[in-house]
Amino acid sequence: MAIPSSAAKDKSLTTPSLNLTINGRSFTLNADPNMPILWALRDILGLTGTKYGCGAGLCGACTVHVDGQPVRACLTSVSQAQGKQLTTIEGLDNQKLKNAWAEHNVPQCGYCQAGQLMSAAALVTQHPKPSAEQIDAAMSGNLCRCGTYPRIKAALQSYAKQEG
């Protein structure tokens, strides 16, 4: 961000440094503290697995974890993530879940899948053997234009059986 020369000495116009821990790595960003995590990830850090869907927190395509909880990266500011552990799809470490996803051929176009997987990973961390009702509740905030909901549910049920 360019600062006009007349304002260069005005500290209130400089961009603060923000320290974030993303996928176990530390990053220092010079960014507006109100910037959504989504844009810091994609535009500043080049972590493009987290997708932009609606920009209003309604579709779930931008889901990431902050301290293990799923949040919408389009609505959560970088200042809200400071001092917390942020996990993106690039850092998701649940191979059993990924295998279940592939086994049931869940992705069709694939656009929503990063958010779907992040929501699913939060669910199985909290409930390793989720019930059908828990699956429906946890996944209800993620939209899929291709309609792969039955495959998502089957993948999560298959995962639960593996945990048995």
Co-location of 68 and 101 in the same domain: no
% pLDDT > 70, the chain: 91
* Number of domains comprising the chain: 2
Q: Could you give phi then psi for residue 127, rounded to 5 degrees?
A: -135, 90
Co-location of 26 and 85 in the same domain: yes
Positive or negative torsion for Cα 83, 84, 87, 88 = negative
Q: What domain range includes position 130?
A: 93-162
Domain end position, chosen among 90, 116, 146: 90
Residue 15 has a pLDDT of 76
Co-location of 80 and 110 in the same domain: no
Assigned domain for 12 exists: no
Q: How confident is the model over 75-86, as pLDDT tens digits? A: 999 999 999 999
pLDDT score of 87 more than 90: yes
Please, which pLDDT band fits residue 148 given cuts at 50, 70 and 90? Answer: very high
Write the burial class of residue 99 (CB in 10 Å: 0-12 exposed, 13-18 middle, 19+ buried).
middle
Positive or negative torsion for Cα 29, 33, 35, 41 = positive
Average pLDDT over residues 105-130: 95
pLDDT score of 38 more than 90: yes
